[in-house]
Structure 1
Amino acid sequence: MGSWHWNDQESPTATVGVRATMGAVTMKNDAKAEQRPYVFVRGYDSRLHINWWNGKVWDWSDQGTPAGRTIIEKVGAVTVQDGPNEQQRPYAFVITDDSKLHVNWWDGIKWNWSDQGAPSGRHIREGVGVVSVQDSPGAKQRPYVFVITDDFRLWVNWWDGSKWNWSDQGAPPSHTISRPLGVTTMKNDANAFTRPYAFVITEDSKVWVNWWDGSKWNWSDQGAPSGQLVKKGVGVISVQNDPNAQQRPYAFVQGYDSKLYVNWWDGSKWNWSAQGAPSGRLILDSVGVVTMKDDPNAFTRPYVFVIGDDSKLYLNWWDGKAWHWAAQDTPPGRVIERPGEALTMQNDPNATQRPYAFVITDDSDLWVNWWSLT
């Protein structure tokens, strides 16, 4: 029987606490290896740090900053593989104090900082998220980084296999983009290419998605939950009924009533569903969204971590038949002050996935609420 645990990840140093998380990924040295979490944070020194599992213990590593710059905002993190059997390599994208995009990335031997710049004549206002795409299941993965610029339009910084490019995705017709929601990728089947979906919230507090259909980019109006406008994004994932099925996006949002809603694709049409809130509580903020698989051939199940108005962690999760709310509480003797990141772990490719939810407490430490199989 498994159980939930809280673990204090502490902070980068005795004098530098965690100010905000910048993204999280899992790493594998090869296709059969154990996954290892890497959580990127911004310290109170405005530098990038990683809390990572080396296979035996947790470590903190100081990644520094781009030359002459400080880090002010997150975009997200992703892993890149040069082939299905190659080592995964983390890429963490951040916005610096000159409103430009930078990436801290592992080339297989060492860490590097690269200046991605900004779209010509523009400043980067906010990050939407990062995904990696593949032209086929055996192809190299290529990062796509979505951001909002100072003219409230969506841009993507993407790797074509030989160089980085900036592309103007524009904005929904007759609207401006006010807030990010999140990004995911779609595959029509196991052998198909991946297609990016970037969800945003417009000035009228409704959801739109900018998506690639295989030949062109499209904007689609997702609207809002019935009788409710969208306050902010919670996260976006893709689910599968089985490993060979079409992936289906789920976009979770917080309404102005401080409750959780999901905009999801059932395979033929989009739907809005009201997830509510934990009993007697309202939702204050979000931590992250992941999908869970009980084994490699199982369907994926969404897990949504949020912070309640009592500063405790809660989980909205799908068991395969029904949605549930679970109270994850708080680290012993601490209060959750800021949201963090969520990811899933596997001990090996055939093992059950296990959720990890990272938060920042009132002493500026990083904590993780994680599921153990024992």
Structure 2
Amino acid sequence: MGAWQWSDQASPTPTVGVRATAGAVTMKDDPQAVQRPYAFVRGYDSRLHVNWWDGKAWHWSDQGTPNGRTISEKVGAITVQDGPQAQQRPYAFVIADDSKLYVNWWDGAAWHWSDQGAPNGRSIREAVGVVSVRDDPNAKQRPYAFVITDDSRLWVNWWDGSSWHWADQGTPPSHTISRPLGVTTMKDTPNSFTRPYAFVITEDSRVWVNWWDGSSWHWADQGAPSGQPVRKGVGAISVQNDPNAAERPYAFVEGYDSRLYVNWWDGSKWNWSDQGAPSGRFILDSVGVVTMKDDPNAFTRPYVFVIADDSKLYVNWWDGAAWHWAAQNTPPGRVIERPGEAITMQDNPSATQRPYAFVITDDSDLWVNWWSLP
């Protein structure tokens, strides 16, 4: 039987601790290979570092900084694949001290820093998230990085296959964007193109989504849980009832009552559900949202990792029939101080997916709470 484990990933160097995470992904050297986790962090030296698994051991690598800059905030990390049989390549997007977007990316042989700039005449205030899209299952993946600028508008920096562009997504009608929530992609069928969905929170504490229908962008008012304004975003994912079904977006948020809520699409309409909170606790912060599959032909099951007011890690997870709260507790002898990232890992294409939740402890080490198979 499987079990949850805590592992101390330590810090980039004995003298440089982890200040914040910057994104996490899994990487595959080929479609049949084992997935390998990469957790990007910002150190107290304001440089980008990555904690990565080579298949046998964990390593820390110093990714440095954009030329002459320091890293101030994360945007997120994704992998990019040049074709269905190609190696996955990590891309880590960050905001630097000049309020511009940069990406640290792997070309298959070496790491590079690229200056993505900022929308003309604007500075980047904060991130919403990053996704990769595909025009069809055989096409190259193309990165999309969504950010909020200093005028409270949503912008996306996107790759068309040959060059980068900035596009102004604007704002919800008669509203301004107050806070980010998260991004995900949606596919109507396994052979469809991917469609980005970027969720944000407006000044009236409601959720809106900026989504692509295949030919144009739209803004949709998702509202808020009944009687409860939205305080902050937790994350967005897409779930699938089976490998041939349409993907369905789920956007998780924290209300001002410190409870977890989800805005989800059932295939015909949007719904709000109250996920509650761990028994006797309040939610303080979020770590991340992932989906889990018991086998390649199974439905996807959401796992939402949060930190409660006792500084412990908890997960709200779906078993296929009901939601549960589980206490993941803390690393031995440590206190969880800051949130991290969540990913799922797969040992081979036929294996069960396994959740990994990264957090930062009071000694500025990176720890991971992960599910091991027998």
Q: Give TM-score scaled by structure 1 length.
A: 1.00
The aligned counterpart of 1:309 is: 309
Letter in 1 for 2:350: N
**What is the alpha-carbon distance in structure 2 between the residues aligned to residue 149 and residue 317 of structure 1?**
34
Task: Give CA deviations for 1:62-120 in whole Å, capped at 9, x if unaligned.
Answer: 00000000000010000000000000000000000000000000000100000000000
Letter in 1 for 2:165: N
**What is the alpha-carbon distance in structure 1 between the residues aligned to residue 313 and residue 340 of structure 2?**
11
Q: CA deviation at 1:7?
A: 0.2
Q: CA deviation at 1:15?
A: 0.1
Q: Does residue 274 in structure 1 map to residue 274 in structure 2?
A: yes
The aligned counterpart of 2:211 is: 211
**Superposed counterparts of 1:351-366, under 5 Å:** 351-366=351-366
Q: CA deviation at 1:354?
A: 0.2
The aligned counterpart of 1:26 is: 26
**What is the alpha-carbon distance in structure 2 between the residues aligned to residue 373 and residue 213 of structure 1?**
39
The aligned counterpart of 1:173 is: 173
The aligned counterpart of 2:371 is: 371
The aligned counterpart of 1:77 is: 77
Q: Does residue 131 in structure 1 map to residue 131 in structure 2?
A: yes
Letter in 1 for 2:323: W
Task: Give CA deviations for 1:183-217 in whole Å, capped at 9, x if unaligned.
Answer: 00000000000000000000011000000001100
**What is the alpha-carbon distance in structure 2 between the residues aligned to residue 243 and residue 154 of structure 1?**
32
Q: CA deviation at 1:168?
A: 0.1
Q: CA deviation at 1:20?
A: 0.1
The aligned counterpart of 2:261 is: 261
Letter in 2 for 1:83: G
Q: CA deviation at 1:255?
A: 0.2
Letter in 2 for 1:326: A
Q: How well do the aligned residues superpose, as a CA RMSD in angstroms? A: 0.3
The aligned counterpart of 2:67 is: 67
Q: CA deviation at 1:180?
A: 0.4
The aligned counterpart of 2:6 is: 6
Q: Does residue 191 in structure 1 map to residue 191 in structure 2?
A: yes
Q: Does residue 300 in structure 1 map to residue 297 in structure 2?
A: no
Q: CA deviation at 1:150?
A: 0.2
SS in 1 for 2:29: coil
**Superposed counterparts of 1:141-180, under 5 Å:** 141-180=141-180
Letter in 1 for 2:80: V
The aligned counterpart of 1:92 is: 92
Task: Give CA deviations for 1:102-153 in whole Å, capped at 9, x if unaligned.
Answer: 0000000100000000000000000000000000000000000000000000
**What is the alpha-carbon distance in structure 1 between the residues aligned to residue 52 and residue 288 of structure 2?**
18
**What is the alpha-carbon distance in structure 2 between the residues aligned to residue 172 and residue 185 of structure 1?**
19
Task: Give CA deviations for 1:280-313 in whole Å, capped at 9, x if unaligned.
Answer: 0010100000000000000000000000100000
**What is the alpha-carbon distance in structure 2 between the residues aligned to residue 203 and residue 18 of structure 1?**
32
Give unmatched runs, 5+ long, in structure 2: none
Number of corresponding residues? 374
Task: Give CA deviations for 1:216-265 in whole Å, capped at 9, x if unaligned.
Answer: 00000000000000000000000000011000000000000000000000
The aligned counterpart of 1:49 is: 49
Q: Give TM-score scaled by structure 2 length.
A: 1.00
